[in-house]
Amino acid sequence: MSEEKVIPFIEHLVELRKRLVVIVIAVVIGMGVAWNFSNDLLHFIEKPLTGATYLTEIKKTVYAKVKERAPALYAHFNLDKDVNSPIKQHVLNYSAPLEPFFMQCKISMLAGFVLVLPIVFYQIWLFIAPGLTRRERRMVVPFVTAATITFCVGALFFLIIIWPVIINFSLSYEAEGLQSWFNISAYVNFCLRLILVFGLIFELPVLTLLLARFGIVNYQLLAPKRKYALLASAIVAAFHADLITMFVIMIPMYLMYEISIWVALIFGKKKAVIEAEPLAS
């Protein structure tokens, strides 16, 4: 048996620095590419402020069904006024010099990070690869591919489904004497932070798949911990001030844990069954 090579702690730090330098360079290059369409990305996250979201279309469809099947109820609640009310346009505001420029930098940085996600995950894999067996190292392509896709799915899920809900809920508080005034820094920072949160939440099944294939976790370990996962999801979500944001973070996080349980069951490392040979008489 060959003696396992022990890498000194200082060499781990040198390796970590090397991987971080590559990641930073890749993100800077990605940021330069993303800068060309950063304004389009800003317009996209501003879209819920126009009121033209999937929620308004759903509301119109539901109200049309109510008018068709229960006209008395439709007239009683004066839903026609709600449907035909003009959509108020909202715009972002800034109050400091160069504030929009710095927000454009932040959007470009996150977009550049997403563009180079395969490089980021590959560098992470290279850092942990020395501790893996030759067979385990073959999972590099599935890991990088799955991790990149799930992060992008999480980010798109938030932007398309959750973000309009948050903004529409916020705008619903407008009334006489109470009007919204969205600052571009607060608006963009809030959105970008949640994009990262949802991207990382959707990484949980991939991480579980990796750990399950290595035999570190399994279904029997994860299934009984559901109540702790729910508590942990609530604690992480509690760092966000408003109740709606708490729930839109807590629910997907716990659902990802449930998916991770089934991932561990289906793709986890199977224990070898060793049968004792019958003794010769």
pLDDT digits (tens, 9 = 90+) for 177-189: 778 888 999 999 9
- For 10-39, write each residue's pLDDT tens digit: 887 888 899 999 999 999 999 999 999 999
Q: How far apart are CA 51 and CA 59, in angstroms?
A: 12
Q: Between residues 109 and 4, which one has the greater pLDDT?
A: 109
Residue 239 — φ and ψ, nearest 5°?
-70, -10
Most confident among 105-109, 162-166, 171-175, 258-262 (mean pLDDT):
105-109
Percent of the chain with pLDDT over 90: 39
At residue 84 the predicted structure's pLDDT band, cuts being 50, 70 and 90, is low
Please, which contacts does 172-176 make with residues 24 or more away whose CB atoms are closer than 8 Å? 174/88
What is the pLDDT at residue 184?
Answer: 93
The whole-model pTM stands at 0.83
- CA-based torsion, 94, 100, 105, 110: positive or negative: positive
What is the pLDDT at residue 274?
Answer: 38
Alpha-carbon distance values, 84 to 68, 81, 160 (Å): 16, 5, 25
- For 211-259, write each residue's pLDDT tens digit: 888 778 888 888 898 999 989 888 888 876 567 778 888 889 999 999 9
The answer, yes or no, to whether residue 150 has pLDDT greater than 80, is yes
Taking each helix axis from N to C end, the angle separating 9-34 and 99-115, rounded to the nearest 10 degrees, works out to 120
Q: Between residues 61 and 281, which one has the greater pLDDT?
A: 61
Residue found under tokens 């986890």: 268
At residue 101 the predicted structure's pLDDT band, cuts being 50, 70 and 90, is very high
Contact 187, 91 (CB under 8 A): no
Residue 93 — φ and ψ, nearest 5°?
-125, 155
Tell me the two tokens of residue 120: 């980021």
Contact 267, 209 (CB under 8 A): yes
Mean pLDDT for 203-218 is 86
Q: Between residues 240 and 203, which one has the greater pLDDT?
A: 203
The answer, yes or no, to whether residue 98 has pLDDT greater than 70, is yes
Most confident among 131-140, 173-182, 189-198, 205-214 (mean pLDDT):
189-198
The answer, yes or no, to whether residue 49 has pLDDT greater than 80, is yes
The per-residue pLDDT of the chain, averaged, comes to 84
What is the pLDDT at residue 279?
Answer: 46
The answer, yes or no, to whether residue 280 has pLDDT greater than 70, is no
Contact 53, 47 (CB under 8 A): yes
What is the pLDDT at residue 83?
Answer: 63
CB count within 10 Å of CB 230 equals 15
